[in-house]
Structure formats: structure tokens, C-alpha cells
Structure 1
């Protein structure tokens, strides 16, 4: 079990971010998307990101817990079963034909089966998921460190971000996507997870593969990941702000 020396500061930052997210969920999202307020929020986000990285070193770890702390059932939220026909066909065959595509600004665009990912060196960690809705849950995750996967395909020099393209359309709307910068992507606790609590990842929690970025709030933890795209900007994606919820007023930087 790891208890990092900066855990008190992390709890403070987490509380601040959760409180802010709760306000947004409570109806402040219209204000956050207004043209007059957006530059102020963008400046505040940049300041928050810089302050967080001054407080926490590049290698600082999110707290890891003991097995007795694991919740009996890990709460699922958002989409719990994508209804897209292609995803349903893959799920019906236990994702045998599913492939993770990694492309964009990489040297060797590649595809990986679930079996291939499971055969790679893995990491297991027991961590707490903090949601902007105000709840938390502790679970044990096993998966491939994202940095190791990126090294296999070779990240090209212009790349700045990893974009996670997902199978679901939240509430029948736009395709879900999220992103991290390369610094967070290479953090040792950032995983592409295929197992939860010593069992195959359930569909409700994001099967066959989901992101775990343990120094970020829960809305960054993309589920049902189908493709990783290395990019130098978000200009060609959605609303250009780096994620499904970010396009709707959430902050792109969600570090805790």
C-alpha cells in the first residue's frame, strides 16, 4: 500500500475540484459556456494545472489502498452498455474480434487484440475513483501501463496528447472521447485496464478496455476504448476542447 507524502495536498485539490464540479452539475454549465466567461475559465484552468504540477512531482503517485478497502461492488455510471450494433456484436463474442487501434502521430500504427494486451507486462493497483457528482469508490485495476503501449508504437515528436475514442454515444448523442497530455499518459499509474477486482472488466464498467488515470477526476476515465490517437491539438475533434464533457463546459484539466 502506498501513501504518498503529498496525499494531504491531493485531498485538498480533490475536494476543491469536486466542489467545483458539483456546482457545474447543479446548473452553472450554461454560465461556463458563455462567451464572456470562457476566457476567464480557460485562464483559471491553466493556473490550476500549473499550481497542481508545482505541488506534485512528475512521479508522485495517487494513494493506493489495501485489499480490505475494496468496495463490494464498484459503482458504474454514465453509459453502462453501449447500444451501437458493432459494439453489441463484439460483446456477444466476448470481444474475441475486438482490436485496439493506435494511430495518429506514431511511428508504427498498430492494432492489439485483448489477448495481446493481456500478454503484455501489467500493473495492478487499488485506487479510489473520485466523481464530480460527489461520490467515491475504491477498486482494484489491472491493465497495461499506457506508457509501455505508447513505446511499442513509437510516439512522434510533434505529438502532445493521447485521445481515447470510445464505442458509446452518451444518451444517443455524440461519440464519447477523452484525452490526456503525454506527461499524464506516461505516469506509472495510468493504465489501459482490462480487469477489475481480479475479474474480467464488466461491461457496465467499460469492457473490454478503459482508461485509469488515477491523478484525474472520474470523468477523464474513458470507458469502452476502441482507438488511441496521438495528436498535436484538438482542433479536429468534437468541439475542439479535448473531450465529450469538456465540449459541454467541463475543465480539460481535472488533476487531483
Structure 2
């Protein structure tokens, strides 16, 4: 079967199965057995997508004329966490991006140091699970070279993004704070950035200042804002709810590929 035929077949299968899963979701997601079924389906989706799409295939990029006049800011837009408020007050002069976990050379980079790392600018579409899409221009440090600088250990399989905003309530242990994760395929994708600029301006607070993740082949909830720390891990079962992200712990799919 040719690549074109495989893509057409998978699209048709996805359309048929999609209706089934949406109808069945409410019935099965509440039971442990149902959750296991959905987890297997998610794995099948991920494998199918990577079968027909090159792992380095680029998400579509757009012309400046198509940049959205009013890009929506959703989720956290002005975090009240005390440590983040202090960072905003001094213009992020004390902000450091920590890269640790399963790395040979842990890093702590200032915003100026991050801006000096290999960068990329791209105009891409943000697709939200809520059903809306907007287009913006992003500039940021490419994640792959940063991970190479830190030196991933052989057992590292995922990168976890720890953020400064609390969506689940502010708890002393930080358990209410936003977090996300990607595997190394998406971490090393050419378009995966730690973005510090939006539409040629310093990233505004409402959109995740000083740095947010852009992983362009995934849905919006994977684009973690207010990134403070990158942790290389072998798995994420021991982190928070064990599903790999704030919303994943609450029932969303871990792999949100588009």
C-alpha cells in the first residue's frame, strides 16, 4: 500500500472510529477497565500518526498577513502565585530556566542566556481542544539543542515542563501547579520551542511570560505557559497523578497530536 493510500485509509478509519469513541466515552471513561481501553486507543492513535507522518514533518506555517488580530488567551492569564508575582515585579531579572533530572550537566539559564541559544521563528496555528484556532508568530530557543547542551542520560525518555501557575489551587507541595510532558520525538522536533517572543514582542504575561512551550503538532493544552523547569525522566508515573500533565491527570489524552 502506498503512503498516500495508507493516509487515506487511516483518515477514513479515524473518522469512523471517532464517532464510536465519542459516543462511548461517557460510558467507559468512568471505569478502570474503560480507562484502560481508552489508553490503548490513544497509543494506537499515536502509532498510526507516526506511521504515516515523518517524525520531523513540519506543522503548517503561515504568512504574516494571516496572524490573528486577537489571539485568545485562555487558561491562566495572570497567575497570582507569590513567586511568579515577584518575578513579574522585577521584569523577570531573577528568572532562571532550570534543566535537570536525567541529564549530565544540569543548567540554570537566565532569560538573556536563553535568548542567546539556537533559536527559530515560526508563524503557526494554535488549535484548542475547545474548538477554536488562532495564528501567531513565535520566536524562541529550540528545545533540542538545549537538551543536547544539558546532555540527556541514556534512560531519559520524556521531558516534563514544570510551570509557575496554579490551576488546581495553590498548595504548599505545588500539586495544583500546571505541568506537561512530551516524549523525545516531539522534544527534538525542529518546531518545538521555548518561546520568549510573540508577534515580534516580548511574550506578554497573558500568553505565558517569560517563556512558554510551543510544540506545534499537538493541541493547545500541551503548550505549557510560565515554564520554570524542564525535568528529564524515564517515565512520569511518579509525578502528580501519573498521567503526564495537569489536564491528563483529569482525563485528557496524553498524546494530543494533530
> What TM-score do the two structures reach when normalised by structure 1?
0.89
Structure 1: gaps of 5 or more residues = none
After superposition, the C-alpha distances for 1:138-162 in whole angstroms (9 at most, x for unaligned) are 0000000000110110011000000
After superposition, the C-alpha distances for 1:188-235 in whole angstroms (9 at most, x for unaligned) are 000000000000000000001000000001110000000000000112
How far has the Cα of 1:175 moved from its partner?
A: 1.3
Q: For 2:220 and 2:32, how far apart are their aligned partners in 1?
A: 27
How far has the Cα of 1:31 moved from its partner?
A: 4.9
Aligned to 1:247: 249
Aligned residues of 2:126 and 2:134 also touching (Cα < 8 A): yes
User: Given the alignment of the two structures, is residue 181 of structure 1 paired with residue 183 of structure 2, yes or no?
Assistant: yes
SS of residue paired to 2:209? coil
SS of residue paired to 2:33? coil
SS of residue paired to 1:141? strand
User: Given the alignment of the two structures, is residue 67 of structure 1 paired with residue 64 of structure 2, yes or no?
Assistant: yes
Structure 2: gaps of 5 or more residues = 171-175
Aligned to 1:154: 151
Match of 1:196 among 178, 198, 203: 198
Aligned to 1:99: 96
Aligned residues of 2:103 and 2:153 also touching (Cα < 8 A): yes
Within-5 A mapping of 1:1-256? 31-172=28-169, 174-256=176-258
How far has the Cα of 1:121 moved from its partner?
A: 2.3
How far has the Cα of 1:34 moved from its partner?
A: 2.6
After superposition, the C-alpha distances for 1:125-149 in whole angstroms (9 at most, x for unaligned) are 0000000100000000000000011
**RMSD, aligned CA:** 2.4
Aligned residues of 1:33 and 1:249 also touching (Cα < 8 A): no
- C-alpha distance 78-33 of structure 1, shift in aligned 2 (>3 A): farther
Aligned residues of 1:210 and 1:225 also touching (Cα < 8 A): yes
- C-alpha distance 162-29 of structure 1, shift in aligned 2 (>3 A): farther
SS of residue paired to 1:179? strand
Which structure exhibits the higher relative contact order, with contacts defined as CA atoms closer than 8 Å and separated by 6 or more residues? 1
Which structure is larger by alpha-carbon Rg, 1 or 2?
A: 2
| Structure 1 runs, 4 residues or longer, greater than 4 Å off | 28-31
Q: For 1:238 and 1:158, how far apart are their aligned partners in 2?
A: 21
SS of residue paired to 2:148? helix
Q: For 1:235 and 1:252, how far apart are their aligned partners in 2?
A: 12
Q: For 1:165 and 1:29, how far apart are their aligned partners in 2?
A: 30
Q: For 1:65 and 1:146, how far apart are their aligned partners in 2?
A: 21
> What TM-score do the two structures reach when normalised by structure 2?
0.88
Aligned to 2:173: none
Q: For 2:148 and 2:108, how far apart are their aligned partners in 1?
A: 14
